[in-house]
Structure 1
Amino acid sequence: MEFESGTQKQKGTFACLKMVALIALCLILISPAESFDPLDPTGNVTIRWDIMSWTSDGYLATVTLFNFQLYRNIMNPGWTLGWTWAKKEIIWAVMGAQATEQGDCAKFKLKIPHSCKRNPQVVDLLPGAPFNMQFTNCCRGGVLTSWGQNPSGAVSAFQIGVGLSGTSNKTVKLPKNFKLLGPGPGYSCGPAKIVPSTAILTDDRRRKMQALMSWNVTCTYSQFLASKNPSCCVSLSSFYSDKVTGCPPCACGCQNNNTCVTKDSKILQENATSPHRKSDITLTPKPLLQCTHHLCHVRVHWHLKDNYKDYWRVKIAIINFNYRLNFTDWSLVVQHPNLNNVTQVYSFEYMPLLPYESINDTGMFYGLKYYNDLLMEAGPKGNVQSEVLMKKDKNTFTLKQGWAFPRRVYFNGDECMLPPPDSYPMLPNSGHKLPTTITLMATYVVFTLFFHLVVTLF
């Protein structure tokens, strides 16, 4: 009996260990580590909440969003910021933004609040908003550029008047459950944390105003949480081969009647002829993809164009397959060991990224302002392209084994699917040797025949 009891204890212990291991695995899969980006390890969107003055039943605060991500923009339809009040707070007024819902404000008779929702959601105002509703760094429709591309366009702010909240640092409770929505899924926000009070410059930048209380919220992006499939893929070609390596089949999903449309679809004709439908698309763009074997929104094509004595040239093209979505202020990040010797980029802007001090193999390409910074929807104008000239590193440069093709490619912050390495266009080594072999064989045959002829005659 004692032996059986010991055996049962061992089984119980083993079962407990299995359960602990399973729980640990689940925590790893859903942990914030999924949002870690090795090319932008500190990238995040920070929300700063600064109380600037107290009111009779609450406070007046400035809320600022900073997109500290090096190469990930927040595109149309822009950011939507949501949270849950800790008590029974209300929003009396907002400048530079607006709540999406007013909620039930029936108990207020004389002055009606802007929003009585317990879990409000706030959006940026559109460009051209009335002057008396504007606030510093507002009114861009929630669109934020990346910090690496344009720091001045990576900041958005609004002013909010909060009531029924308490009127001191001791009575105000921090909002909970912050959510960054709008640009799509993928962002997860941590809890609000009190930080040292912020010193804010006035509009004329001649005086600093000290906040009475400040807290920060940090939101990070995870492509894993955003979508189970990539949104872009990469195709390859080279001057030394007729072979074009296309995007892998079903790289971003597989075709069916619900996921894509053909070029002659009636839906596309209706979009082109109906102004009303066009306006709807502008306000709430929904994917309408062209049917392709890869089913990606965007394809990036890398063409190895020329090989000189000291330099080599690459042509990059970005093609949009979405009939309903333009990409404003797009960005393309490429990782390749020879990007540390970029000599000239012809029609894109270029900025090297330095995630680690000793490595300089990653760079960001983006469009020239007012020229090609807008990637149009699918169609004849739905592409942008440029050429890149790089100086050879004599110690590492080679055309063998696909070395000249990129290691990683990101479009608008999402990693694109590359073809498998064994499908890359390879150097035609056997093809170059073929003429020489044929020549030697022909020479040998001619010489043999001539030798036999001479022997026969003489």
Structure 2
Amino acid sequence: MGLFCVVVSLVLIYTLNQRFYSGDWHEIKRTFLVCSLSPIKLRTCPCETTASLSPSPCVGLSLCVSLPAFAEQILAEAKSAIRRMMESLPKLGGLALLLLFFLSSSTLTSVEAYDALDPNGNVTIKWDVISWTPDGYVAVVTIFNFQQYRHIPSPGWTLGWTWAKKEVIWSMMGGQTTEQGDCSRYKGNVPHCCKKDPTVVDLLPGTPYNQQIANCCKGGVISSWVQDPANAGSAFQVSVGAAGTSNKTVKLPKNFTLKAPGPGYTCGPAKIVRPTQYITADKRRRTQALMTWNITCTYSQFLAQKAPSCCVSLSTFYNDTIVNCPKCTCGCKNNATDPGGCLDPNTPHLESVVSNSPSNQPLVQCTSHMCPIRVHWHVKLNYKEYWRVKVTITNFNYRMNYTHWNMVVQHPNFDNLTQIFSFNYKPLTPYAGLNDTAMLYGVQFYNDLLSEAGPLGNVQSELLFRKDKSTFTFEKGWAFPRRIYFNGDNCVMPPPDSYPWLPNSSPRLGLPKLIPFTPILAYVLLLFLHL
């Protein structure tokens, strides 16, 4: 059926295109007014001219077309094309028919965990077997965050897997399982966990030293690779029993899951790699693990959350218009339909209301966009050889402090960034020869903490760019960012046609040749399907 629709669409587009530009509209007696922005809504209107674009109650441009005999002739041509195709199908071989079937029925349904600004970013879990035991092995599991700007915030990571056989965990250091499971078959020494699918979390800071190992006990918080590489890893040690006792008998765990702290990560299968090597403290000797396997996990914002978590607003010095975040960007909660879904900042005794409301749900300030985070980009000043931008990040969440926050901005003028005030800056260059992406984050002990919603719930900075005469312009929204990420999540930008324009310019509506026929095509297809 998909192939038939493609053929019908091509025939209709070709026929409509030929009729429109050849002026063959002699049969127009009574027409339907089709709104190009609302293809399903049809209104009748008298139209005696030929192929005229006329104003209408619909928004935008409308097209007066005739659909009695004109549509019948188009449908006849479409049916004729389909009939000829059906007659030729028996002449095709079986392999060709099978190929046509797959082409007509295949669809792309997978969600790729790919980030264009960090194409190689991932979380790698390394499992190093460091010694054998009478019934298993001891391993050090390390979680490396190789993502440039996406960190794992509080309450931290949660790692799960499924054992290949009937393994148990005798003991752990630097981490613990959330459940022990059924260990009733053990009479003396009871294992730490007997579950087939254990779930491990990090220990909290302040854990006794005899339960710690290196890089553990951070509450599951892991920094991004660029912002703080020294804290971009976490580790725990596990003693596994009822398992293999050699490289040939050990079975790799499977079905790894990583929550950081919620969903969003997809982990691949464990793969045996070259054993990890260690250098002694005096740097004169190298040792290595007995066996090592890696698991790679990638992030997808589509899997992590159904709604966006931040948005962008824009303004300039040359236009009084302030382009706010699109309405209902992160939801349309209001106290009328969802009591307690948001909080009016003018509520009496605001602090008391926040403290007495349930703490397991986010509490966002009532706004038109309903986003916890808003990034405002203001084109502030224009000099002879430079131009200046002010960036403000506002927190509208009454229950969330963003520690070690970061923001990624893509703009073509970052290759000529001259100075930045009160923010740290690191260029991100995932592609050779292209320097248009910057990572901005707070200065430690100054503004690296974005406080909860309120008078102190914002951070701001200014950026000074040198003009490149070959590319610089204020026209067509060039001065605004191409995309913005906050803490690794893509922020929703306003539509380009709403950007502030220069006083002597205005947005132009481009209308390709075949765009006016899109609603007509949809209507004719509906008629065809009901025949």
The alpha-carbon deviation at position 101 of structure 1 amounts to: 0.7
Could you say which residue in structure 2 is the equivalent of 1:380? 455
Separation of aligned partners in 2, 1:61 and 1:204: 24
Could you say which residue in structure 2 is the equivalent of 1:407? 482
Match of 2:330 among 237, 249, 252: 252
**Residues 1:262 and 2:348 are matched in the alignment:** no
**Residues 1:231 and 2:309 are matched in the alignment:** yes
Separation of aligned partners in 1, 2:353 and 2:127: 42
SS of the aligned residue for 1:132 comes to helix
Could you say which residue in structure 2 is the equivalent of 1:53? 131
The alpha-carbon deviation at position 19 of structure 1 amounts to: 5.8
**Residues 1:352 and 2:427 are matched in the alignment:** yes
Q: Contact 1:255–1:292 (CA<8 Å) still a contact in 2? A: no
Could you say which residue in structure 1 is the equivalent of 2:373? 298
Separation of aligned partners in 2, 1:354 and 1:24: 36
Separation of aligned partners in 1, 2:350 and 2:255: 40
The alpha-carbon deviation at position 202 of structure 1 amounts to: 5.0
Could you say which residue in structure 2 is the equivalent of 1:427? 502
Match of 1:30 among 110, 122, 125: 110
Structure 2 letter corresponding to 1:427: L
Could you say which residue in structure 2 is the equivalent of 1:442? none
Separation of aligned partners in 2, 1:87 and 1:399: 64
Separation of aligned partners in 2, 1:19 and 1:133: 60
TM-score by length of structure 2 reads 0.74
Structure 2 letter corresponding to 1:357: A
Separation of aligned partners in 2, 1:266 and 1:141: 36
- Alignment length (residue pairs): 417
Could you say which residue in structure 1 is the equivalent of 2:401? 326
Structure 2 letter corresponding to 1:325: M
The alpha-carbon deviation at position 180 of structure 1 amounts to: 0.4
Change (3 A) 1:427 1:208: same
Structure 1 letter corresponding to 2:148: L
The alpha-carbon deviation at position 430 of structure 1 amounts to: 7.5
The alpha-carbon deviation at position 175 of structure 1 amounts to: 0.2
| % identical equivalent positions | 61
Change (3 A) 1:271 1:56: farther
Q: Deviations over 1:221-270 (max 9, x none)?
A: 01121123221110001112221100011112222416433335689544
Change (3 A) 1:93 1:100: same
Could you say which residue in structure 1 is the equivalent of 2:121? 43
Could you say which residue in structure 1 is the equivalent of 2:189? 111
Separation of aligned partners in 2, 1:106 and 1:405: 64
Structure 1 letter corresponding to 2:464: L
Could you say which residue in structure 2 is the equivalent of 1:389? 464
The alpha-carbon deviation at position 288 of structure 1 amounts to: 1.6
Q: Contact 2:354–2:398 (CA<8 Å) still a contact in 1? A: no
TM-score by length of structure 1 reads 0.85
Change (3 A) 1:89 1:203: farther
SS of the aligned residue for 1:333 comes to strand
**Residues 1:289 and 2:371 are matched in the alignment:** no
The alpha-carbon deviation at position 24 of structure 1 amounts to: 3.7
Structure 2 letter corresponding to 1:236: L
- How do 1:351-370 residues align onto structure 2 when only pairs under 5 Å count? 351-370=426-445
Q: Contact 1:366–1:373 (CA<8 Å) still a contact in 2? A: yes
Separation of aligned partners in 2, 1:6 and 1:311: 66
- How do 1:148-297 residues align onto structure 2 when only pairs under 5 Å count? 148-202=226-280, 207-256=285-334, 257=338, 259-263=341-345, 269-270=351-352, 273=355, 281=359, 286-297=361-372
Q: Contact 2:270–2:293 (CA<8 Å) still a contact in 1? A: yes
Separation of aligned partners in 2, 1:175 and 1:23: 36
The alpha-carbon deviation at position 315 of structure 1 amounts to: 0.6
Could you say which residue in structure 1 is the equivalent of 2:492? 417
Change (3 A) 1:172 1:408: same
Task: Identify unmatched segments of 5+ residues in structure 1.
Answer: 432-458
Q: Contact 1:255–1:293 (CA<8 Å) still a contact in 2? A: no
The alpha-carbon deviation at position 37 of structure 1 amounts to: 1.0
Separation of aligned partners in 2, 1:332 and 1:6: 58
SS of the aligned residue for 2:109 comes to helix
Q: Deviations over 1:131-172 (max 9, x none)?
A: 111110111111111111111111111111111011111111
SS of the aligned residue for 1:371 comes to coil
SS of the aligned residue for 2:413 comes to helix
Structure 2 letter corresponding to 1:390: F
